[in-house]
């Protein structure tokens, strides 16, 4: 027989391991591909396969797990679809770093071998983050784990690429792209981080051809002048009107380039003359196109000056800048240098300064996809919570530009395009072609680039469910129910999933998107390794227990606000876990061996009726909060109820019956406390899966896992409105006496005598029936309840509603203290009365405010008046008595 009494304190470590193994062994996370039950599906935002769990993951997955566990308990067929992402650039970087530490590099090992090494790496470390998610308690259906480089998902990628190509939505072209000279690859616009920094604006003289003088040009990047093919001015700019048809001589290279006119140029900025470098700047590129300018690339893919850079060939781009400035200065062509702040793009992976470069890349023509994705959200097919993110989503969708999807790295989905070595034909095909479709030549070479990782992530909600096969999973779970993610990947990932989902599945990929906050440190700073302010979730779990950690995250996850996390907060919620544990321990200790929650018991006591009514209401509130993604509300409702209603009031009062000899009363207290505890652990289970399972398994009347125990609902409990009012009265008396005791510093060991004077004689009986509770909770020896009795001599009085309770102080304390206390309270009541009186003397209020509001204020005034007169009476009593 298993020991049913709980240990004195909760020890998370063993308990967590035990139950996670139990859940997995019993397949409790398994979803059914076909089921009568209502489907609920979340696809996990796939973590990088090389990653380790950080706070962002912890929050993100805790919230998902809360939703999944909640829905499962409500009887849904839940699929939490897990998996990892191959994270092309990040993973390649990690493996390359490892290679270089061993004195090698990817070019030395070759492409095929390198990819093999990365797979090996994944086999070795890919399970790390998965195990960390398990440690967090995540109830993913691990039997369905996917990886973006799996065969099935790779097929999906090829399928999507070829179909988009055939539809003209994927094309290949020469454009200015963001190039990272360190990672040696193109990046999408989104992958470039702009940060404002101190820089300089250099004013350079471009001598005019065939006449005296020069055109003064302002630039932040003097090294690109080697690739200049024009200088542009605004046609409306009077200063340059007579330069039409003229040329300038490009300094250093002494090349003649034209002065062109274009409205793009801002007359106000700098000198109003803009040097044009079509091969190294997006705007210049576009201006170059309209004016049919030559594109001269002077910086190569490694960030070094090439052979077209004349004397600077072979220099690094920054070195070249310094040299060129020195040379210009010497030639008297550098007029001035001004400090200037501008935002320069950096690689989001390695922080290297991005080089805008002319390059041939693959792009997705995004507008047609974006428009439908925009519309779907506008029509409410997908709802974004909190809704202010919708505006940001639309904003981005409206200004979106074509998506550069080719990457010059090796780890990823290779672009399914082949080039004919003989006729130059481009063949895009799911399967490797044997001959050129145009000239039948077998001389075909596959494109060496791979696709942006986000290209495969964009398919995640349907590729993981088996697409392009028409699987049962797709039929059952697509569109998925909710997506939970941080705003930092709203564009990278969420928007692109919506586009691809609509295009290939004909429907949005998810009904709801819940955008959660960022986890910051206690000062509100972003956590980062370089700042050294990271809190490691695994350490936290070890120190405080996973349940306390999860509850903290949920309790702090208010919509639209970042989370400031500190160890003190987590510690605070660990106390809550302990409180729950001890409540359970107490209930268990007092249960009779043959007890069952369905046992018949005699008449319920007032506290019994009250707590059952309350737990019903609270269940309803929690359900509503979960349904609205108000995790913090759900958490604090539970916290408040468990600690301050169940423990502080109910269990304290139940002791009366539990310790007593009346078997009927004892039985009803036992059944009620068990019933409420069973509800409490179930409503807390989504937050705190481990401790609740541990308690559940020790409680009588349970079978199997708490996961199958159902979620408590309002209708499970009797609603007894009278019990709420009666308890208010009872608690009012007890609180009144406690207030006096506290303020007068009467020690708990000293019992007092009290007289209760009720305004409503009919309520006397209510208190009479509950005298024992007042005596034990307020530490009272003798008490009398009646209506309309005079205040006893030498007593202190507490008021509640229209009632008063007098505590006899004779021989207990200093009356001066009581006079002070009364005066203080009189002042407080007078202030409140002043506010309300003012309202009632305002004609506008009486005429225009709703009747019930006016009535409320009238009632309040009445209450305050009677309080005030009682307080004054009490005070005058004390004024006449000598201590």
Partner RNA sequence: AGGCGGGUAGCUCAGUGGGAGAGCGUCGGCCUUACAAGCCGAGGGUCGCAGGUUCAAAUCCUGUUCCGCCUACCA
Q: Pick the closer one to RNA by CB: 201 or 353.
A: 201
CB 127 to RNA: min, Å: 31
Which residues touch 266 (CB under 8 Å, ≥6 apart)?
A: 234, 272
CA 130-132-138 angle, to 5 degrees, is 75
Instruction: Pick between residue 111 and residue 838 the one whose CB is nearest to RNA.
Output: 838
Q: Which is nearer to RNA, 38 or 263 (CB)?
A: 263
- Per 3-state DSSP, the chain is made up of helix, strand and coil in percentages (nearest 5) of 50, 20, 35
Residue 93 C-beta: closest distance to RNA, Å: 21
Cβ–Cβ under 8 Å, residues 783 and 771: yes
Closest to 170 (Cα-Cα) out of 185, 155, 154, 157: 157
Q: How far is the CB of 758 from RNA (least distance, A)?
A: 19
In the complex with RNA, which residue's Cβ is closer, 708 or 781? 781
| Closest distance to RNA from the beta carbon of 378 (Å) | 16
Edge-to-edge strand order for the sheet containing 403-404? 185-187, 170-180, 355-364, 403-404
Q: How far is the CB of 590 from RNA (least distance, A)?
A: 8
Shortest Å distance, C-beta 537 to RNA: 18
173 is written with which tokens?
Answer: 């072209």
Strand partners, 231: 259, 275
Least Å distance, CB 652 to RNA, is 6
Nearer to RNA by C-beta: 41 or 570? 570
368-376: long-range contacts at Cβ-Cβ below 8 A with a sequence spacing of 24 or more?
A: 368/169, 369/169, 369/499, 369/500, 369/502, 369/503, 370/397, 370/400, 370/495, 370/499, 371/397, 372/499, 372/502, 372/503, 373/397, 373/495, 373/498, 373/499, 373/502, 374/398, 376/498, 376/502, 376/508
Per residue, what are the HEC states of 736-748? Answer: HHHHHHHHCCCCC
Nearer to RNA, 125 or 214 (CB): 214
Q: What is the CB neighbour count within 10 angstroms for residue 201?
A: 16
User: Residue for token digits 């490691």?
Assistant: 536
Q: How far is the CB of 190 from RNA (least distance, A)?
A: 6
DSSP 550-616: HHHHHHH--TTS-EE--HHHHHHHHHHHHHHHHHHHHHHHT--TT--TT---SSPPHHHHHHHHHHH
Question: What gap in Å lies between CA 137 and CA 57, rounded to an integer?
Answer: 13
Q: How far is the CB of 851 from RNA (least distance, A)?
A: 10
Q: Which two tokens stand for residue 39?
A: 């489907």
Of the pair 50, 836, the CB lying nearest RNA is at 836
Least Å distance, CB 255 to RNA, is 18
Residues 6+ apart with CB under 8 A from 510: 43, 382, 461, 479, 480, 481, 482, 483, 497, 501
Which of 348, 221, 358, 339 is CA-nearest to residue 286?
A: 358
Tokens standing for residue 616: 């019903």
Would you say 120 and 50 are in contact if contact means Cβ atoms under 8 Å apart?
no
Q: Least distance (Å) from RNA to the CB of residue 558?
A: 4
CB of 633 to RNA, least distance (A): 7
DSSP state of 261: E
Q: Which is nearer to RNA, 271 or 352 (CB)?
A: 271
Least distance between RNA and beta carbon 776 (Å): 9
Of 220 and 408, which has the nearer Cβ to RNA?
Answer: 220
Q: Which is nearer to RNA, 63 or 115 (CB)?
A: 63
Q: Min. distance of Cβ 521 from RNA in angstroms? A: 11
How near is the Cβ of 626 to RNA at its closest, in Å?
16
Q: Is 759 helix (H, G, I), strand (E, B) or coil?
A: coil
Q: Which helix (H) or strand (E) holds 61?
A: helix 55-73
Give CA–CA dist 633/620, Å, rounded. Answer: 12
User: Residue 741: CB partners within 8 Å, gap ≥ 6?
Assistant: 748, 752, 778, 779, 807
Q: Which residue, 378 or 824, has its beta carbon nearer to RNA?
A: 824
Angle formed at CA 790 by CA 785 and CA 795, multiple of 5 degrees: 85
To the nearest whole angstrom, how small is the minimum distance from the Cβ of residue 511 to RNA? 23
Alpha carbon 519 to its chain centroid, in Å, reads: 8
Rounded to whole angstroms, how far apart are CA atoms 589 and 581?
Answer: 12
Q: How far is the CB of 68 from RNA (least distance, A)?
A: 25
**Paired sense of beta strands 170-180 and 355-364, if any:** antiparallel
Q: In what order do the strands lie in the sheet with 752-757?
A: 780-786, 752-757, 803-808, 795-800
Of 153 and 570, CB closest to RNA: 570
- Output 240 or 460, the one with its CB closest to RNA: 240
In degrees and rounded to multiples of 5, residue 199 shows phi and psi of -150, -165
Residue with Cβ nearer RNA (63 or 556): 556
Closest to RNA by CB, 138 or 176: 176
CB count within 10 Å of CB 106 equals 20
| Nearer of residues 273 and 554 to RNA, judged by Cβ | 273
- Strand order across the beta sheet in which 480-486 lies: 77-81, 39-43, 480-486, 510-516, 383-385
**Residue 121 or residue 200: which is nearer to RNA going by CB?**
200
Provide, rounded to whole angstroms, the least separation between the CB of residue 782 and RNA. 19
Closest to RNA by CB, 326 vs 589, is 589
Answer for the pair 355, 224: CB distance below 8 angstroms, yes or no.
no
Asked whether the beta carbons of 268 and 234 are under 8 A apart, the reply is no
């Amino acid at each position: 027989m298993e020991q049913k009494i709980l240990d004195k304190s909760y020890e998370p470590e063993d308990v967590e391991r035990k139950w996670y193994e139990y859940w997995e062994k019993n397949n409790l996370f398994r979803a059914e591909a076909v089921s009568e039950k209502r489907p609920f599906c979340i696809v996990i935002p796939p973590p990088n396969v090389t990653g380790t769990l950080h706070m962002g993951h912890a929050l993100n997955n805790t919230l998902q797990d809360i939703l999944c566990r909640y829905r499962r308990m409500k009887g849904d067929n839940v699929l939490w679809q897990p998996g990892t992402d191959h994270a092309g650039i990040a993973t390649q970087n990690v493996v390359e770093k490892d290679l270089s530490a061993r004195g090698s590099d990817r070019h030395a090992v070759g492409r095929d071998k390198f990819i093999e090494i990365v797979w090996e790496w994944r086999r070795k470390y890919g399970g790390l983050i998965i195990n960390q998610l398990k440690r967090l308690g995540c109830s993913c259906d691990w039997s369905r784990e996917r990886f973006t480089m799996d065969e099935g998902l790779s097929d999906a990628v090829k399928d999507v690429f070829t179909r988009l190509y055939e539809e003209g939505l994927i094309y290949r072209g020469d454009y200015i792209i963001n190039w990272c000279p360190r990672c040696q690859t193109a990046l999408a616009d989104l992958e470039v981080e702009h940060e404002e920094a101190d820089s300089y604006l250099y004013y350079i003289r471009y001598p005019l051809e065939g006449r005296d003088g020069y055109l003064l040009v302002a630039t932040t990047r003097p090294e690109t002048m080697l690739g200049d093919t024009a200088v542009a001015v605004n046609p409306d700019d009077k200063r340059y009107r007579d330069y039409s048809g003229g040329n300038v001589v490009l300094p250093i290279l002494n090349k003649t380039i034209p002065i062109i006119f274009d409205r793009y140029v801002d007359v106000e900025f700098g000198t109003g003359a803009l040097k044009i470098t079509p091969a190294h700047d997006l705007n210049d590129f576009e201006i170059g196109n309209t004016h049919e300018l030559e594109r001269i690339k002077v910086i190569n893919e490694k960030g070094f000056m090439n052979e077209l850079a004349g004397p600077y060939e072979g220099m690094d781009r920054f070195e070249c800048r310094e040299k060129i400035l020195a040379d210009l200065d010497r030639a008297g062509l550098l007029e001035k240098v001004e400090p200037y702040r501008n935002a320069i793009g950096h690689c989001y992976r390695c922080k290297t300064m991005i080089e805008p470069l002319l390059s041939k890349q693959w792009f997705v023509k995004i507008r047609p996809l974006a428009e439908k994705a925009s519309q779907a959200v506008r029509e409410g097919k997908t709802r974004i919570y909190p809704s202010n993110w919708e505006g940001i989503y639309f904003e981005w969708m409206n200004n979106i530009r074509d998506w550069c999807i080719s990457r010059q790295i090796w780890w990823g989905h290779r672009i399914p395009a082949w080039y004919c070595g003989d006729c130059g034909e481009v063949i895009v095909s799911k399967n490797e072609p044997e001959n050129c479709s145009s000239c039948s030549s077998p001389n075909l070479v596959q494109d060496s680039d791979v696709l942006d990782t986000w290209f495969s992530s964009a398919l995640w909600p349907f590729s993981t469910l088996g697409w392009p096969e028409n699987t049962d999973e797709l039929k059952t779970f697509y569109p998925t129910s909710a997506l939970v993610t941080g705003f930092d990947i709203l564009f990278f990932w969420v928007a692109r999933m919506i586009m691809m989902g609509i295009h290939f599945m004909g429907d949005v990929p998810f009904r709801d998107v819940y955008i959660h906050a960022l986890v910051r440190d206690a000062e509100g700073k972003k956590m980062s390794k370089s700042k050294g302010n990271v809190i490691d979730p695994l350490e936290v779990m070890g120190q405080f227990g996973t349940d306390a950690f999860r509850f903290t995250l949920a309790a702090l996850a208010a919509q639209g606000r970042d989370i400031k996390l500190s160890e003190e907060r987590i510690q605070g919620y660990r106390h809550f876990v302990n409180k729950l544990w001890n409540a359970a321990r107490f209930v268990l200790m007092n249960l009779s061996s043959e007890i069952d929650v369905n046992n018949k018991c005699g008449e319920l006591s007032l506290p019994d009726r009250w707590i059952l009514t309350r737990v019903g209401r609270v269940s309803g509130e929690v359900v509503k909060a979960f349904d609205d993604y108000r995790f913090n509300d759900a958490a604090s409702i539970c916290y408040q109820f468990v600690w301050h209603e169940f423990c502080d009031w109910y269990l304290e009062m139940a002791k009366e019956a539990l310790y007593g000899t009346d078997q009927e009363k004892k039985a009803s207290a036992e059944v009620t406390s068990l019933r409420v505890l069973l509800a409490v652990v179930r409503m807390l289970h989504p937050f705190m899966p481990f401790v609740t399972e541990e308690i559940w398994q020790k409680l009588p009347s349970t079978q199997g896992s708490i996961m199958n125990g159902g979620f408590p609902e309002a209708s499970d409990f009797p609603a007894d409105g009278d019990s709420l009012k009666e308890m208010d009265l009872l608690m009012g008396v007890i609180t009144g006496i406690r207030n006096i005791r506290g303020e007068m510093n009467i020690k708990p060991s000293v019992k007092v005598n009290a007289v209760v004077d009720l305004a409503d004689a009919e309520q006397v009986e209510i208190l009479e029936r509950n005298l024992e509770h007042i005596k034990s909770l307020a530490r009272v020896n003798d008490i009398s309840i009646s209506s309309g009795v005079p205040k006893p001599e030498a007593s202190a009085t507490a008021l509640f509603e229209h009632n008063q309770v007098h505590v006899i102080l004779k021989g207990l304390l200093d009356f001066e203290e009581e006079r002070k206390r009364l005066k203080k309270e009189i002042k407080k009541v007078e202030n409140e009365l002043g506010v309300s009186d003012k309202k009632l003397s305002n004609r506008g209020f009486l005429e225009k405010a709703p009747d019930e509001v006016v009535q409320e204020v009238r009632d309040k005034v009445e209450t305050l008046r009677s309080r005030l007169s009682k307080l004054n009476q009490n005070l005058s009593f004390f004024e006449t008595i000598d201590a």
